[in-house]
Amino acid sequence: MKRYNFIDFWRGITIIAMIIYHTIYDLEAFYGFEIKSNLYYFQQYICWSFIFIAGLSLNFSKNYSKKTMILILISVAITVATYLYSPENVILFGVIHFFASAFLIESLVGEKIKKIDPLKGLIISSILFIILKNIYYGEILFGLIKLSPALYKPNLFFLGLPSKDFYSADYFPIIPWIFLFYAGYFSYNFLKLEKKEASNNFINIMGRHSLVIYFLHQVIIVIALRLIFGY
């Protein structure tokens, strides 16, 4: 079986980083640990990588409808499970919710996206992502433009316009992340990746099964921490 080993490796490294990050998060949220290191950029690397790779993978992915349905079901399961386990840390629109939305959007507009010149598409999507990066904080263009609070009152959190009372422990709205997703898609034309015989090293194997690992890793972390700490 031939694979894009570079993508599998990158995805595998990122899934390992995510497991480390969520372990630290759980230690802080549920066991009173105080990790003094600022993990913001570590967390940003993880989410940027997953979303960029997902967009990049559109170039050789098929059957969006099946993938979308799987992601929707997983999203619902994540919301229900987090609410039941810890309501104050519920995930209402996390990264998997975003992926479900992104693949749904791709299934609707994918043919039009394919007609866009790759260089123009990469430049435009990258610029829009940078400009709109902080839209869910009420600002765009690095805080130079403040948006009207009226835009956020309807609580269109899935679009990146959450109300003041909205909270999601993991939050990746369609805007701005859809533009990073498509930046990944358009970048394929410039990366010159080649398929080779699939690598069976540990990291690449994890990369090939990243969705299953994502779905199960928090459960495993919770069980492991309970066994260690006894509660």
Find out whether 28 and 224 touch, Cβ atoms under 8 Å.
no
Q: Higher pLDDT residue, 30 or 172?
A: 172
Q: φ, ψ for residue 90 (rounded to 5)?
A: -65, 145
- Non-local (6+) Cβ contacts of 67 within 8 A are 61, 103
Distance of CA 150 to the CA centre of its chain: 27
Measured between alpha carbons, how far is 45 from 14 in angstroms, rounded to an integer? Answer: 8
Number of Cβ within 10 Å of residue 128's Cβ equals 18
Q: How many residues does the chain have?
A: 231
pLDDT the model gives residue 1:
81
Question: Rounded CA gap, 75 and 77, in Å?
Answer: 5
pLDDT digits (tens, 9 = 90+) for 105-137: 998 999 999 999 999 999 999 999 999 999 999
Provide the token pair at 126: 């990258």
Domain ranges of the chain: 2-229
Q: Burial level of 182, CB count in 10 A (0-12/13-18/19+)? A: buried
Q: What is the mean pLDDT of residues 69-95?
A: 92
| Region of poorest pLDDT, from 37-41, 62-66, 73-77, 197-201 | 62-66
The confidence score (pLDDT) of residue 37 equals 73
- Interval 12-36: pLDDT, tens: 999 999 999 999 988 988 888 887 7
Taking the C-alpha atoms of residue 129 and residue 15, their distance in angstroms, rounded to an integer, is 23
